[in-house]
Amino acid sequence: MEYPFTGSETIGDIVSSFPGASNLFKEYRIDFCCGGNRILSTALREQQIDEGLFLERLNRLFHNAKQKPEKDKDWREAPLSDLIDHIVQTHHAYLLKELPLLSEVVTKILQVHGSAHRELAQLHHLFHLMKMELEQHLITEEETVFPLIKEAELTGNRIARSQAAEAIVKLEAEHSTVGNVLKEMRQITDNYRLPEGACRTYTLSFQKLVELESDMFQHIHLENNVLFQRLGHPSLRRI
Protein backbone atom coordinates (compact mmCIF):
# COMPACT_ATOMS: atom_id res chain seq x y z
CA MET A 1 0.00 0.00 0.00
CA GLU A 2 1.18 3.49 -0.83
CA TYR A 3 1.75 5.74 2.20
CA PRO A 4 2.31 9.25 0.88
CA PHE A 5 1.44 11.15 4.06
CA THR A 6 3.95 11.14 6.91
CA GLY A 7 2.62 13.90 9.17
CA SER A 8 5.24 16.42 8.02
CA GLU A 9 2.83 18.00 5.52
CA THR A 10 0.60 20.98 6.24
CA ILE A 11 -3.05 20.17 6.78
CA GLY A 12 -4.10 22.45 3.92
CA ASP A 13 -1.73 20.78 1.48
CA ILE A 14 -3.08 17.35 2.41
CA VAL A 15 -6.67 18.37 1.71
CA SER A 16 -5.63 20.14 -1.49
CA SER A 17 -3.96 17.00 -2.83
CA PHE A 18 -6.53 14.60 -1.36
CA PRO A 19 -9.93 16.31 -0.85
CA GLY A 20 -11.35 13.14 0.70
CA ALA A 21 -9.14 13.75 3.75
CA SER A 22 -11.48 16.57 4.78
CA ASN A 23 -14.01 14.06 6.16
CA LEU A 24 -11.37 12.53 8.42
CA PHE A 25 -10.25 15.95 9.63
CA LYS A 26 -13.85 16.88 10.42
CA GLU A 27 -14.31 13.64 12.34
CA TYR A 28 -11.33 14.49 14.56
CA ARG A 29 -12.25 18.20 14.78
CA ILE A 30 -9.00 19.23 13.09
CA ASP A 31 -9.24 22.65 11.47
CA PHE A 32 -8.22 22.32 7.82
CA CYS A 33 -9.45 25.70 6.59
CA CYS A 34 -8.24 28.60 8.76
CA GLY A 35 -5.71 26.26 10.38
CA GLY A 36 -4.57 24.75 7.12
CA ASN A 37 -1.03 26.11 7.43
CA ARG A 38 -0.26 23.92 10.48
CA ILE A 39 1.90 20.81 10.24
CA LEU A 40 -0.27 17.73 10.70
CA SER A 41 1.94 16.06 13.31
CA THR A 42 1.91 19.24 15.40
CA ALA A 43 -1.88 19.46 15.26
CA LEU A 44 -2.20 15.81 16.25
CA ARG A 45 0.07 16.28 19.26
CA GLU A 46 -1.80 19.42 20.35
CA GLN A 47 -5.11 17.55 20.29
CA GLN A 48 -3.59 14.39 21.83
CA ILE A 49 -4.53 12.25 18.82
CA ASP A 50 -2.59 9.05 18.21
CA GLU A 51 -0.42 9.98 15.23
CA GLY A 52 0.23 6.44 14.07
CA LEU A 53 -3.43 5.45 14.00
CA PHE A 54 -4.46 8.69 12.34
CA LEU A 55 -1.83 8.40 9.60
CA GLU A 56 -2.82 4.79 9.01
CA ARG A 57 -6.44 5.82 8.49
CA LEU A 58 -5.47 8.79 6.32
CA ASN A 59 -3.23 6.74 4.05
CA ARG A 60 -5.75 3.92 3.82
CA LEU A 61 -8.43 6.40 2.72
CA PHE A 62 -6.02 7.77 0.14
CA HIS A 63 -5.23 4.27 -1.12
CA ASN A 64 -8.94 3.42 -1.43
CA ALA A 65 -9.63 6.67 -3.27
CA LYS A 66 -6.86 5.89 -5.76
CA GLN A 67 -8.69 2.72 -6.73
CA LYS A 68 -11.83 4.59 -7.77
CA PRO A 69 -12.21 5.56 -11.44
CA GLU A 70 -13.63 8.98 -10.59
CA LYS A 71 -10.97 11.45 -9.52
CA ASP A 72 -11.48 14.62 -7.51
CA LYS A 73 -10.70 17.78 -9.41
CA ASP A 74 -7.30 19.19 -8.51
CA TRP A 75 -7.97 22.88 -8.02
CA ARG A 76 -4.24 23.56 -7.68
CA GLU A 77 -3.90 22.94 -11.42
CA ALA A 78 -7.15 24.44 -12.76
CA PRO A 79 -7.29 27.99 -14.12
CA LEU A 80 -7.93 30.46 -11.33
CA SER A 81 -11.01 31.72 -13.15
CA ASP A 82 -12.48 28.21 -13.04
CA LEU A 83 -11.76 27.92 -9.32
CA ILE A 84 -13.37 31.31 -8.68
CA ASP A 85 -16.46 30.35 -10.67
CA HIS A 86 -16.70 27.12 -8.68
CA ILE A 87 -16.46 29.00 -5.37
CA VAL A 88 -19.11 31.52 -6.40
CA GLN A 89 -21.52 29.07 -8.02
CA THR A 90 -21.17 26.42 -5.30
CA HIS A 91 -20.28 28.00 -1.97
CA HIS A 92 -21.42 31.60 -2.37
CA ALA A 93 -24.70 30.43 -3.90
CA TYR A 94 -25.18 28.05 -0.98
CA LEU A 95 -24.70 30.85 1.56
CA LEU A 96 -27.02 33.27 -0.24
CA LYS A 97 -29.73 30.62 -0.17
CA GLU A 98 -29.20 29.16 3.30
CA LEU A 99 -28.31 32.16 5.47
CA PRO A 100 -31.81 33.74 5.29
CA LEU A 101 -33.45 30.36 5.95
CA LEU A 102 -31.18 29.70 8.89
CA SER A 103 -31.88 33.15 10.28
CA GLU A 104 -35.57 32.29 10.42
CA VAL A 105 -35.19 28.95 12.20
CA VAL A 106 -32.52 30.16 14.64
CA THR A 107 -34.78 33.07 15.56
CA LYS A 108 -37.82 30.80 15.89
CA ILE A 109 -36.16 28.34 18.27
CA LEU A 110 -34.97 31.26 20.41
CA GLN A 111 -38.51 32.62 20.62
CA VAL A 112 -40.04 29.24 21.48
CA HIS A 113 -37.31 27.53 23.51
CA GLY A 114 -35.05 30.37 24.67
CA SER A 115 -36.41 30.50 28.21
CA ALA A 116 -35.57 26.84 28.78
CA HIS A 117 -32.30 26.82 26.84
CA ARG A 118 -30.31 29.95 27.61
CA GLU A 119 -27.57 29.06 25.11
CA LEU A 120 -29.97 29.76 22.24
CA ALA A 121 -29.69 33.51 22.84
CA GLN A 122 -25.93 33.34 22.40
CA LEU A 123 -26.34 31.07 19.38
CA HIS A 124 -28.73 33.58 17.83
CA HIS A 125 -26.28 36.43 18.45
CA LEU A 126 -23.27 34.54 17.08
CA PHE A 127 -25.09 33.31 14.00
CA HIS A 128 -26.31 36.77 13.02
CA LEU A 129 -22.89 38.26 13.69
CA MET A 130 -21.44 35.68 11.30
CA LYS A 131 -24.25 36.22 8.78
CA MET A 132 -23.53 39.94 8.59
CA GLU A 133 -19.79 39.31 8.25
CA LEU A 134 -20.30 36.77 5.48
CA GLU A 135 -22.74 38.91 3.49
CA GLN A 136 -20.26 41.79 3.40
CA HIS A 137 -17.40 39.38 2.72
CA LEU A 138 -19.11 37.88 -0.35
CA ILE A 139 -19.72 41.33 -1.81
CA THR A 140 -16.04 42.25 -1.42
CA GLU A 141 -14.93 39.05 -3.10
CA GLU A 142 -17.41 39.07 -5.97
CA GLU A 143 -17.34 42.80 -6.72
CA THR A 144 -13.68 43.61 -6.10
CA VAL A 145 -11.18 40.84 -5.40
CA PHE A 146 -12.29 38.06 -7.74
CA PRO A 147 -12.54 40.38 -10.78
CA LEU A 148 -8.98 41.58 -10.07
CA ILE A 149 -7.70 37.99 -9.98
CA LYS A 150 -9.47 37.14 -13.23
CA GLU A 151 -8.09 40.25 -14.90
CA ALA A 152 -4.56 39.42 -13.76
CA GLU A 153 -4.87 35.87 -15.06
CA LEU A 154 -6.34 36.95 -18.40
CA THR A 155 -4.14 39.96 -19.16
CA GLY A 156 -1.08 39.56 -16.92
CA ASN A 157 -1.89 42.93 -15.30
CA ARG A 158 0.61 43.17 -12.44
CA ILE A 159 -1.23 46.03 -10.75
CA ALA A 160 -4.45 44.01 -10.60
CA ARG A 161 -2.54 41.05 -9.22
CA SER A 162 -0.83 43.18 -6.58
CA GLN A 163 -4.12 44.76 -5.50
CA ALA A 164 -5.74 41.34 -5.19
CA ALA A 165 -2.79 39.96 -3.22
CA GLU A 166 -2.99 42.86 -0.78
CA ALA A 167 -6.73 42.34 -0.31
CA ILE A 168 -6.39 38.70 0.68
CA VAL A 169 -4.78 39.69 3.99
CA LYS A 170 -8.09 41.21 5.08
CA LEU A 171 -10.09 38.35 3.60
CA GLU A 172 -8.05 35.75 5.50
CA ALA A 173 -8.60 37.70 8.73
CA GLU A 174 -12.34 37.65 8.06
CA HIS A 175 -12.15 33.90 7.44
CA SER A 176 -10.50 33.47 10.83
CA THR A 177 -13.30 35.47 12.46
CA VAL A 178 -15.93 33.26 10.85
CA GLY A 179 -13.99 30.13 11.76
CA ASN A 180 -13.84 31.19 15.40
CA VAL A 181 -17.57 31.90 15.46
CA LEU A 182 -18.31 28.46 14.01
CA LYS A 183 -16.19 26.84 16.73
CA GLU A 184 -17.93 28.87 19.44
CA MET A 185 -21.38 27.95 18.08
CA ARG A 186 -20.45 24.26 18.19
CA GLN A 187 -19.08 24.64 21.72
CA ILE A 188 -22.12 26.35 23.25
CA THR A 189 -24.48 23.78 21.69
CA ASP A 190 -22.38 20.87 22.98
CA ASN A 191 -21.54 19.79 19.44
CA TYR A 192 -25.12 20.47 18.32
CA ARG A 193 -26.57 17.93 20.73
CA LEU A 194 -30.34 18.16 20.66
CA PRO A 195 -32.27 18.32 23.95
CA GLU A 196 -34.67 15.51 24.74
CA GLY A 197 -37.95 15.91 22.88
CA ALA A 198 -36.57 18.53 20.49
CA CYS A 199 -39.22 19.73 18.04
CA ARG A 200 -38.91 19.53 14.27
CA THR A 201 -37.72 23.14 13.93
CA TYR A 202 -35.09 22.68 16.66
CA THR A 203 -33.84 19.55 14.89
CA LEU A 204 -33.85 21.23 11.48
CA SER A 205 -31.96 24.26 12.73
CA PHE A 206 -29.14 22.16 14.19
CA GLN A 207 -28.96 19.97 11.08
CA LYS A 208 -28.67 23.04 8.89
CA LEU A 209 -26.03 24.60 11.14
CA VAL A 210 -23.93 21.43 10.87
CA GLU A 211 -24.32 21.53 7.08
CA LEU A 212 -23.34 25.21 7.07
CA GLU A 213 -20.21 24.48 9.10
CA SER A 214 -19.20 21.68 6.71
CA ASP A 215 -19.72 23.83 3.64
CA MET A 216 -17.81 26.73 5.20
CA PHE A 217 -14.84 24.48 5.94
CA GLN A 218 -14.65 23.47 2.28
CA HIS A 219 -15.25 27.05 1.15
CA ILE A 220 -12.54 28.60 3.31
CA HIS A 221 -10.13 25.78 2.48
CA LEU A 222 -10.44 26.44 -1.26
CA GLU A 223 -9.84 30.15 -0.75
CA ASN A 224 -7.14 30.14 1.93
CA ASN A 225 -5.19 27.02 0.98
CA VAL A 226 -5.59 27.02 -2.79
CA LEU A 227 -6.72 30.31 -4.35
CA PHE A 228 -4.93 32.68 -1.98
CA GLN A 229 -1.84 30.51 -1.77
CA ARG A 230 -1.51 30.49 -5.54
CA LEU A 231 -1.96 34.24 -5.64
CA GLY A 232 0.16 35.21 -2.66
CA HIS A 233 3.28 33.05 -2.77
CA PRO A 234 5.91 33.31 -5.55
CA SER A 235 6.58 29.57 -5.41
CA LEU A 236 2.94 28.87 -6.16
CA ARG A 237 2.35 31.70 -8.59
CA ARG A 238 0.42 30.47 -11.60
CA ILE A 239 -0.69 33.75 -13.16
Residue 6 resides in a domain: no
Low-confidence residues of the chain: pLDDT under 50: 233-239
Give the pLDDT of residue 70. 67
Regarding whether 205 and 90 lie in a shared domain, the answer is yes
Regarding whether 174 and 94 lie in a shared domain, the answer is yes
180-192 pLDDT tens trace? 999 999 999 999 9
Regarding whether 121 and 22 lie in a shared domain, the answer is no
Are the CB atoms for 12 and 36 separated by under 8 Å?
yes
> How many separate domains does the chain show?
2
Residue 34 resides in a domain: yes
CA 68 to centroid of chain Cα atoms? 25
Taking the CA atoms of the chain, what radius of gyration do you get in angstroms? 19
Regarding whether 93 and 28 lie in a shared domain, the answer is no
Residue 3 resides in a domain: no
Give the pLDDT of residue 71. 66
CA distance 45 to 36: 16
pTM value is 0.85
Regarding whether 151 and 100 lie in a shared domain, the answer is yes
CA distance 192 to 184: 11
Residue 48 resides in a domain: yes
Give the pLDDT of residue 232. 65
Regarding whether 86 and 26 lie in a shared domain, the answer is no
Instruction: Identify the domain containing residue 56 by its residue range.
Output: 11-67
Give the pLDDT of residue 63. 86
Regarding whether 41 and 145 lie in a shared domain, the answer is no
Residue 1 resides in a domain: no
103-150 pLDDT tens trace? 999 999 999 999 999 999 999 999 999 999 999 999 999 999 999 999
Q: Closest Cα to residue 128, out of 107, 153, 143? A: 107
Give the pLDDT of residue 64. 84
Regarding whether 213 and 181 lie in a shared domain, the answer is yes
